Amino acid sequence: MVAQTSAVRNKSNRIDFYDHDKHSYEEFWVGREYEHESEVIALNRLLKNRHYKLAMDYGGGYGRISPVILEHTDKLILVDPSKKQLDIGRRFLQDYKNVDFVKVTEKDSVPAKDNSLDLLVMVRVSHHLPDPRLTFQAIAKALKPGGEAIIEIANEAHFVNRLRYMKNLKTVPKQPVPIGSVANGIVDDTPFFNHHPKTIEAMFNANGLNVEKKLSVSNLRHRALKAHLSMDRMLALEKYFQGKLSILDFGPSIFFLLKKEE
């Protein structure tokens, strides 16, 4: 009985889901060039004319977006709970000599001294955070006063979803919404959640992280559009709309540029 309780506790505290044999995060990106390029456009836009001494790619996986961050920092720490992702990352980023690889073992913890980071980037991680409050608290602690963060959230209130809720005479829940434990080939107990941007913004405020800019990303993620428009056209439209649609929280992915209060 005791053993069972502790097994359950251990299971729920796990964060190394991406070590699972059956999951290949690199393969997940095959056929998702539009989403990848859309995220690169958003990051470049938010990082434009900025340079940092020390940046962290938090939950950075194998470093898919690290090369973009590396154009804007002297040093990068790639942090992930998955040994497998970090091992792939060492090969993927082998040409860069200014990257440290750090395995994080505890939920909601940022492996950095308080007030030490100039920039923290967290993309496609909120999906795995049933309650991101403590993670945001840890991020705020690790940033220097005036330091910046780029945090992406999986948006439950995106336009198509809002229509779905309306059709069922419902409103988009303000609380995190579980979207299934089996997704993208991960077959274990990986949590998947979407979030409401307004709830997330309130959490940022509560931790002294002020929203400087916001972008709506992957706005054209739809099978029919992908089938009919060329990639160049899709990306040109994406670039045009990211800023304009952010006010409506339109896309499935919202990127926030945040600044920690001085």
Ligand X SMILES: C[S@@+](CC[C@H](N)C(=O)[O-])C[C@H]1O[C@@H](n2cnc3c(N)ncnc32)[C@H](O)[C@@H]1O
Positions touching ligand X (CB under 6 A) are 15, 17-18, 25, 59-61, 64-65, 80-82, 85, 104, 107, 123-125, 128-129
**Cβ-based nearer residue to ligand X, 182 or 248:** 182
Q: Residue 72 Cβ, how far from ligand X at the closest point, in Å?
A: 16
**Cβ-based nearer residue to ligand X, 60 or 197:** 60
Torsion of the alpha carbons at 132, 137, 141 and 146, rounded to the nearest 10: 80
Cβ-based burial of 121 (10 A; exposed 0-12, middle 13-18, buried ≥19): buried
**Cβ-based nearer residue to ligand X, 124 or 195:** 124
Residue 142, C-beta contacts closer than 8 angstroms, at least 6 positions apart:
56, 110, 112, 113, 114, 115, 116, 117, 120
Q: Residue 119 Cβ, how far from ligand X at the closest point, in Å?
A: 14
Q: Residue 189 Cβ, how far from ligand X at the closest point, in Å?
A: 12
Q: Residue 35 Cβ, how far from ligand X at the closest point, in Å?
A: 10
**Cβ-based nearer residue to ligand X, 18 or 255:** 18
**In whole angstroms, what is the distance from residue 38 CA to residue 32 CA?**
10
- What phi, psi does 23 have (nearest 5°)? -105, 130
